[in-house]
Structures are given as structure tokens and as C-alpha cells.
Amino acid sequence: MARVFFRYSEEVLDALAAQYGLERKGLIGALQKREEVGEKVVWPRQEAPTNGTWYLDYRDAAKARQQPSTIARTKSEAEKKLRDALNDTDDAKAGRRPTRFRPMRLSDAAAEMLKLRVGTPSYVMDELNLRLHVLPFLGRKFLTEITPADVEELAVILSRGGKGRKALAPGSVQQAIRRLASVFTWAKKKKLFFGDSPTREAKRPKIPKRLPKRLSDVQVVKLLSESRQWHDLFWVAATTGLREGELCALEWTHLVLDTEEPHVLVAGSHSADTPKDFEERVVPIPRDVAEMLRRRRDAATSRYVWPGPDGGMQRCADTVYGDAFKEAAVRAGLVRGWAHACNCGHHFFAPTRRPRRCPKCPATVLPKVVRGEFTFRHLRSTYASALGNPVLAQKALGHSDLSTTMVHYYQVDAAKVREAAEVLPFAVGAGRLAATGQMRDKSTQHSNQEEVSAMLASDVSPLSPSSQALGRWSRTTPSQYSFP
């Protein structure tokens, strides 16, 4: 039986217990027993939120008991909310849209969704993409008003830029649309939106597929020789394939160095107590690298293998490690550095990431990253490609899908592909076949040619085993055949 009930606040219960000299535990039951024997009990008014809260008590469409709190002030208001909840239950059983459906704006839905994601690894990027790229254009629209055409128009606006906005790359536009799709998915689960998401039918910009890049063995040696105080960190990254967030969260307890098979247990990252794919993995460590780590462990004063300046976890590891990698790569001659483009038309490169004064004019120029050059992430692709087996690389990198490894990290060795192509049986030259005795003599070749000519001159198709089984071809024109 569905009902509403009132629950007094802690302050009211304390006052009742003091008034009647009873203990808090079992107070309501004790007062009800006094009423049954004829004693008068003065109950506080059942008014919310002054004295407590009104609750509903009913069973949902799955027959599970629900007792949600309400913002109702009186019993009549609570009973009205109970009737609405029962109507929603009937609609859910019948698969209908709730009769008391309230349209919601995209900005309100995004705010409620983000409120539940605070503290998750994706919260920062979710909030950033929605606030900067989605809500300024679609935030004031109701969820039911947004169409696939609106999503396509948003993609065009983000791609072109203008009005003080920087044009986004196709990948960044895809990320913004994915965040928009996540809002519709959340709203659908909360029964705030019904139907298909408009992002499903909308066309998205295509992301150009680029081959994975890796450093050669010589380039890795050059990089490590110019890495200075970052040598050991880059060495571990190149020989284990760990991410920046996994390296900065790496603790000495995660390393097993005193065995014949040293390895590292990847159990967390900088933003969570679990790896990016929520699955722990074990990565082997080469013996020379393990020896270096043992020496560092003996002199360590922090529980982190690569601590920050304060001894705790390194903050902003992706930026710190990325800048250190690029500076070392500049010294090693692998990249040009940070690009500086002044409004006066002068372009130049700098070995460090900081604003610089233009040598042609007094303007201060901000640095920009040059696309296509080596970054810290390419140590990870270098490790994956060096393993020589895409399946091993997938397991070592912690990817749940092999396509992720192949598209973004694993570079096929062109030299090995050429070696395999050279030994294909049908790629061997005629001279080598003749030398090995695998080529037919000329008389055999001439006899085969004569057989083919005779079959073409006859009425029987050379592709059929017999004319009786498949019928006969009747030649109508030199270039046309018909089947009787």
C-alpha cells in the first residue's frame, strides 16, 4: 500500500525526548504506546522543513520498495507527489513517456551531469569541452529542440573558428561532440530525454589517419644522452611504455626488483587509484634498468619513484615531462623546439617553452607547439613497436582493443615487410626460377598456349568442365557472348 509519512528532524526528537524523559532510541514507539493507554501526547506539527521531511513509500515498476524524500511542506503536497510517482510507475510499466515530463535545457542537464562526475578522471576535460565549445552555442536550447542539423552546424562553427575563437582540429571537434552525446545519454538514463540522441545521425568531421611514429634506436640513444636529470625517467618510459600519469603515480611498492624477473605492477595513475583502462597489468623491466632503479631506491626519501619538488606526487606531469622531453629532443637535434610567430611576420624557434621578444620588433611572442614532431608519448609508441608483436604490445600498453594499439602506437617495420615480400614464391624472378629448375621449358609453354587457343576457337567455354553440364556458348559478335 502506497503512503506518505513524516520523519521528524534530530532537533525535534531531542526536544521530545527531553520533554517526556525518554531515551532517543525507540522514542516514537514509546510515545505511541502512551497514547494507546490514554495519556495525552503533544506532537509537533508535521510541517517541513521546519520540523522534518515528508517521505513517499511505494513500489516502482520493478516492484522494488522506494522511500524517497520530498520537498513537500504539507501532507497534501506529499500526497500529490505520491500520485505523480505512481503515475510514472504505471507509465514505466507500459513503456510510455511520463505524463509529468518536464523539458530541460542543455545547460541545466550538463550542470547536473557534471555535478555527479566531480572527482572522476574525465571531469576536467568534460567540463572544459562543454563550457568552451558546446554550451555557448546550444546551452539555451531544450534537449528536445536540438536536432542533428544543430550538431552539424556546431561542428562547422568549431572547425572554422571566427569571432575571436580559434579553429579546432577535427579531433577536437569530435571530442566536443562526444561530450554533447554524453549529456544526452545521461539525460536518457535519468528519464529527462526520450528518443534517439541527435548526435547519432549528425555527420562528424573525419579525422585524418596518420601512421604511428617512433624513435629509432639511434634517436633514443641521442635523446637519453641529452636528457640530463631526466635520463632515468625517459629510460624507464622507453623500456616499459608507461604513461605520464602512471609514471608520476609509481611507488616503490609497485616495483619488484629483487628477483630474476624484475617487473612493475601498474596499479594507478595521477588522477585515480586505478589505471586508465581500470585494469591492473604487469610489465617486465629489463635487468639493466632494474639495476638503475635499485640504486635509486637505496637513496630514495619519498615513497614515489619520481616525486615532485615537495616529495609528493608530481603535479601536472604531462606538462612537466613533455617540456623536459622536448628540451632534450632539441639538444639532441630531433625537433626544432617551440615555434614563435610574431604579428610582424617574423617566425623563429626557441629551445624552451616561454614567451620571447621578437628580434625584429619589440612585441612579445607566445610559444606554440609544432605539430608532427616527437613528444613524450612517442616513447610509448617506440616501446610498442620495438616489441615486434602487436598482441604483446597491446597487453604491455594496457589496451582493451588491439585496434587502438595498431592505429596509434604500433609501427610496422618496413624493412621486415620488404624481407617478407622478397621471398614470396610469386615474386621470384624468372632467372632465379630457371636457375633452380622451377620454370617449365619452352615446349611445355607452347603446348599450353596451343591448348588455350584451341579452346577459344571451339564452342565450349574454357571455364566449364563440359558443354553438357553448363550449356553451350553461341558467339554473336567478336566481343559479346550469349547463353542459350
pTM (2 decimals)?
0.62
Please report where in the chains the cell 607547439 appears, as a residue. 369
Helix axis angle, 231-240 relative to 217-225, nearest 10°?
Answer: 160
- C-alpha dihedral (443, 449, 451, 453), degrees to nearest 10: -150
Q: Are 134 and 179 in contact (CB under 8 A)?
A: yes
Q: What is the pLDDT of residue 447?
A: 53
Please report which confidence band the pLDDT of residue 428 belongs to, taking 50, 70 and 90 as the band edges. low
325 C-beta neighbours (distance < 10 Å), count: 25
Q: How many CA atoms lie within 13 A of 382 on its CB side?
A: 23
- Residue ranges of domains in the chain: 3-94, 106-201, 217-335+373-379, 443-482
Q: What is the DSSP string of 112-134?
A: HHHHHTTTSTTHHHHHHHIIIII
**Top-ranked range on mean pLDDT: pick from 43-52, 224-233, 398-407:** 224-233
**Residue with the three cell numbers 522506494:** 66
Residue 259 φ/ψ region, left for φ over 0, alpha for ψ in the -120 to 50 degree band, beta for the rest: beta
Directed axis angle between helix 317-331 and helix 217-225, to 10°? 100
Beta carbons of 376 and 383 less than 8 angstroms apart: no
The 10s digit of each residue's pLDDT in 281-294 is 899 999 999 999 99
Angle at which helices 170-189 and 106-116 pack, to 10 degrees?
A: 80
In angstroms, what is the C-alpha Rg of the chain? 36
Cis peptide before 49 (omega within 30 of 0): yes
β-bridge pairing 255-256 and 3-8: unpaired
Interatomic CA distance for residues 224 and 230, integer angstroms: 8
pLDDT band at 474 (very low <50, low <70, confident <90, very high): very low
CB atoms within 10 A of CB 84: 14
| Measured distance CA(237)–CA(230) in Å, rounded | 11
Residue 463 has what pLDDT? Answer: 39
Three-state DSSP class for residue 184: helix
Compute the average pLDDT of residues 134-149: 92
Phi, psi of 304, deg, nearest 5: -90, 140
Mean pLDDT of 462-467: 38
Quick one: pLDDT band at residue 475, thresholds 50, 70, 90? very low
Q: Which is more confident, 278 or 389?
A: 389
Q: Give the integer Cα–Cα distance in Å for 389 and 401.
A: 15
DSSP 241-269: ---HHHHHT-BGGGEE-SSSS-EEEE---
Give the three-state DSSP class for 427.
Answer: helix
The pLDDT of residue 457: 54
Contact indicator for 86, 58 with CB cutoff of 8 Å: yes
How far apart are alpha carbons 482 and 161 in whole angstroms?
Answer: 60
> How many alpha carbons lie under 13 Å from residue 394 in its C-beta half-sphere?
12
Give the residue carrying C-alpha cell 619452352: 442
231-240 and 287-298 are packed helices; what angle lies between their axes, rounded to 10 degrees? 140
Residue with cell string 606531469 = 317
Q: For residues 285 and 240, is the Cβ–Cβ distance under 8 A?
A: yes
Q: Is 63 left (phi over 0), alpha (psi -120 to 50) or beta?
A: left
Give the pLDDT band (50/70/90) at residue 34.
confident
> Which of 159-163, 354-358, 425-429 has the highest average model confidence (pLDDT)?
354-358
pLDDT, tens only, 302-346: 999 999 999 999 988 888 999 999 999 999 999 998 898 888 888
Percent of the chain with pLDDT over 70: 85
Alpha-carbon gap, residue 46 to 28, rounded angstroms: 14
Buried b (16+ CB within 10 A) or exposed e, 329-344: bbbbebbebbbbebee
Considering only residues 201 and 88, tell me which one the structure prediction assigns the higher pLDDT: 201
Assign a CATH topology to domain 217-335+373-379.
Answer: hpI Integrase; Chain A (1.10.443)
C-alpha cell at 175: 571530442
Q: What does residue 18 show for φ and ψ, rounded to 5 degrees?
A: -70, -35
Q: What is the pLDDT of residue 483?
A: 32
Please name the fold of domain 106-201.
DNA polymerase; domain 1 (1.10.150)
Give kind and range of the element (H or E) at residue 138: helix 135-138
